[in-house]
Each structure stands twice: as C-alpha cells, then as structure tokens.
Amino acid sequence: MNLNKIWVLRIGLLFILFIFGPPLLFADNCSAPSDCFPTLTAAAVAAAAAGAFAGGLVVDLYRDWRRSQHPTEDEMLEDSANASVAD
Amino acid sequence: MAEPVVPPPKSPDSTSQVMSAPEAGRLMHFWSVRLPRVLDRWTPRLADSFADGAWLAGWRFMGLVPLLWLAVGCLTPWLWPGMQNIYSESLIFLALVIGMSIVSGTWATMLFLGYSLGDFLATRQYVSTHVRSMGFPALEIGWLAGHFLAYLLLALLVIRIPQLAKDLADGSLRPSERASPGVLRALRYGAIYAGLVFLWCQSMIVLIRPVFTWRNDIPTVAAVHQVQVEWPWLVGIAFVLAVARVMSEEARIRRSRFSPLVVELQGQRWEARVSRDPRSRSTPGLVRIVLGAGLITLILAGTYEQWTDAIAVFLVVAVLGAWRAGRLGKFPQRWISLMDKIPMWVRLMLAMLIGFVVSYAIQSPGWNRDNSFRPGMISALVTLALVHIAFPLTRREKQTEAT
C-alpha cells in the first residue's frame, strides 16, 4: 500500500481517534433528557440542529472532494466570476 | 522568501499610492499566499481559511496580528476567566471566535490553533497530575479524546462555517447577480451566517457532551448554558459582523489605496487554487464515503449511550452516502431537477424544519419518562437523511464522478 496517498493519512488520523477514543466510556449522565433541556421543543431543536449540521457537513464534504478532484470547466468559470466580482 | 510578483499599476494616478507586497509586509504574503500554497496539498479548506485575511493587507503590522491571536489562544485555557473545562463555558470567548472567523480567517485559525495547543497542554498537565485509572481504555485517554472532539467542533465554527456560509450565499446567486448591490449581498451573507451559527449553537448542546461523558463526568451547566440560553447574542454578533465584513471588504477593494495589493494577493491565491494538483487528492469514492461516515459518527458521539449506537450511526451515514453517490440506487431525475432550482440555504432550512417536527414527534412519547438520549440520536439521523434527500447528486457532480 502506498502510504504517500493522502487518503491513507486521512483515514489513519480518523481511526487513531477511534482506536484511542473512549467510546467505551459512553455514559449518559443526564438522569433524564429534561435535565439537559428545559422543554421538549428545545430538545427537538437541538437534535434536529445536530442532524442538519452533520448532514450539511458531510454533503458539503462529498461535494468538496469531488470538486477538488475533478474541477470542471463550469467550476473554473464560477471561480473566474467570483474573481471578477472581486475586481 | 521569494518576493511576490507585483503587476504594474494600471493607472499613473495609483503609482504613488500603491504599496508593493514586500513593502506592505512579507508576512501578509506569507499568510495569504505562501502558507496556503503549502497547506493546499493536505488540507485545502484550512489553506483557504488562512488566505481569507488577504483583504486586510496594507495596514501596518497586519502581518503580525495572527501571531498575537496565536498567543491569546494559547494562553486562554490558563488565563481566561470563567473557563474551567472547555471553551463553550465562556460567552465572550465564543463571541471572540465567531468575530475573528468573520473578520479574518487567518486570525481565527491562529486563535483556534493557539487554543487547541494551549488546551491540550493544560489538559495533559491536569491529567498527568490528577487522574489515575486502571484498565483500558484509560480515563486519561477519555479526557484527551473528549477535548480533541471539542477542537473538531471548534474547527467547524472557525473554518467550515465561514466557507459554508459563502457557498450557500453565493450558491443562490446567478453569475450576473454576483455584482448586485453590496448591501443585499451583505444582508444575505449575514442572515445565512447567523443561521449557521444558530445551528452550531443548538447542536453544541448535544455534541459537546463527550468532553465530559468520556471521562465519566457530567457536563457542566456553564458548558451548555452559553449555547443553549445565550445563543441570541452569538447569532446577533454573527449577523452584524458578517454584514460589516462584506461591506468593508467591498469598500476596501473599490476605494482603498491598498486595493491593488489586496487584489494582487487574492489573485495569486486564486491562481494557486485552480492549479491544485488533482493527483494529490485522489481519494477513492468508497474511502470518501467511509471517511465521511466516520467523521459524522465521531461528531454525533454526544448522542450515544452504547457502542451499538455508534455502529448504527456509522452504517446509516455510510448507506446514505453510498445512496447519494448512486451506488445504491438513484434519485428520480425530476427530484434532482426540482432541488437544483431551490437555493441551497432554503433546502437546508426546510430539512431542519421538517427534522424539527419529526424530532418533536419522536421525543414526545418518552419525554419526562425515559432517561435515554436515543430518541435524540434517531431524530438527528432522520434530519441527516432529510439533508441527503434535499441535496441529491447534481448533474454536474455526476459528470465529475464519471470522469
């Protein structure tokens, strides 16, 4: 395996966190969710926000990887347009 | 250090006013062009973040300011009043981080790096003197890993949110509209930025929990209070500063005597970006899906009770990623066309709203009875799936995937 590959490094870094990460110590110390959230609405907003944030991040990540690997002509033009706005 | 090539001035009037890059400070050239060029190979987004401060070039000592923020960040864990465990305990520090990330990516990144380094050293020092545990995984590792997750969440606020806000704001514009009046663009950027900060604050209530739970502790009230109760301050600051940033940058580029220098630095950065070596980033599609799923599994760790939760989240996110990539079926073409017409920020907001309604329904039956976070985890996963549905693989992405 070619260790110079950037993705090998990335996946390695991520899994170091998993290996040494302490998921075995998962501990729910809220005696009940209502201890952590004042209302059900607050709990629902927090959960939805966490999902939306994570979803937005991963979708953006996939887009970003594709774009960086295969910059299409459209995207080059898009960048040029941004640069010309800056001008 | 190689001197940047300064283009000849376009008009004789500007000759006496234009300061060349070396005169204005080699350090600004280093932060905005040279360092990002080095980082491009490994972390393009971090590189972009460093280059973000180019618009401030020209002012005296501006090249030294990032070093100041690095020092501030490094000392913060020891000296910042009210910060006992983690950055989210201080409203003023959060406001500072948000402000820095809007004003200059270079400043914010250095503040973030300084804080991470300082906090790591402070935590390590505390753990080595106060924490003793037997067995595996050791409690010491729990302490450090929890803090690493917190740095990851802070990096999202510092590096990812400014770029995501720009993508979402620009993504809703046609090329012709990008030259629209600055006020409108500024307001749109401000609103989207504020919305993302709101999302970050709300999600932090849950996501910051591993800092404490991974060391068998209870999250402190202060660590959650600032993002749960005081978030309007942070959102308001984000809105005002984001609007001010767009207006100021535009004014600086149009009217300031340093405009040629700023344009030159941004131009050099842009040239470096478009010539990024594609081979260096050739990550196989399957690895991308696994990496994305792994990252999200880690980020959502605050909602888990057992190992099985983490495995379930990993599998769900991986399946969603594979589905979106077209490896497990395809979205209907009509749906893709419809989504293509709706601005990205509207789609994200809709996914969040529907996710909220579903989340309310899921959590309602067990509210005040169960002490489980699992309904919260399921709700987050449903919203995550909704985001995937709202952001199908576009035609352009498909074309690039096929190449």
CA B222 to chain A, closest CA, distance in angstroms equals 12
Confidence of residue A74 (pLDDT cuts 50, 70, 90): very low
Give the pLDDT of residue A72. Answer: 47
Q: Is the CA virtual torsion A77, A79, A80, A86 positive or negative?
A: positive
Maximum Cα–Cα distance across chain A:
57
pLDDT digits (tens, 9 = 90+) for B245-304: 998 888 888 877 777 787 888 888 787 777 665 544 566 778 888 888 888 888 888 888
Look up tokens 């402070």; give the residue.
B122
Q: Answer yes or no: is pLDDT of A84 > 70.
A: no
Nearest to B57 by CA among B67, B65, B69: B65
Per CB-CB distance under 8 Å, the chain A contacts of B387 are 51-52, 55-56, 59
Q: Answer yes or no: is pLDDT of A33 > 80.
A: no
Per CB-CB distance under 8 Å, the chain B contacts of A40 are 360, 363-364, 367
**Which of B340, B384, B399, B401 is the mutation pick for testing A, counting most A CBs within 10 A?**
B384
Tokens representing A24? Answer: 């075995």
CA A72 to chain B, closest CA, distance in angstroms equals 7
Nearest to B288 by CA among A17, A69, A71, A29: A69
Give the pLDDT of residue B30. Answer: 86
**Which of A11, A58, A65 is the mutation pick for testing B, counting most B CBs within 10 A?**
A58
CA B142 to chain A, closest CA, distance in angstroms equals 5
CA B119 to chain A, closest CA, distance in angstroms equals 17
Whether cis (ω within 30° of 0) applies to the bond prior to B137 is yes
What is the separation of C-alpha B23 from the centre of its chain, rounded to a whole number of angstroms?
A: 33
One-letter amino acid at A74 equals D
The residue count for chain A: 87
B336 lies within 8 A of chain A by CB: no
Q: Taking chain B (403 residues) in consecutive chunks of 10 residues, what is each chunk's mean pLDDT?
A: 41 44 69 85 84 81 88 91 88 94 92 94 87 69 86 92 86 58 84 93 88 82 86 93 90 79 80 63 74 87 82 90 81 84 87 91 79 84 91 67 45
Give the pLDDT of residue B395. Answer: 63
The dihedrals phi and psi of B329, each to the nearest 5 degrees, come to 100, 175
Give the pLDDT of residue B221. Answer: 83
Nearest to B281 by CA among A61, A58, A1: A61
Measure the CA–CA gap between A23 and B306, rounded to whole angstroms.
8
Give the pLDDT of residue B112. Answer: 95
Give the pLDDT of residue B12. Answer: 41
CB B94 within 8 A of CB B231: no
**Chain B stretch 340-369, residues whose beta carbon is closer than 8 A to a beta carbon of chain A:** 348, 351-352, 355-356, 358-360, 363-364, 367-369
Per-residue HEC secondary structure of B132-162 comes to CCCCCCCHHHHHHHHHHHHHHHHHHHHHHHH
pTM score: 0.80
One-letter amino acid at B50 equals F
Nearest to B211 by CA among B195, B193, B227: B227
B326 lies within 8 A of chain A by CB: no
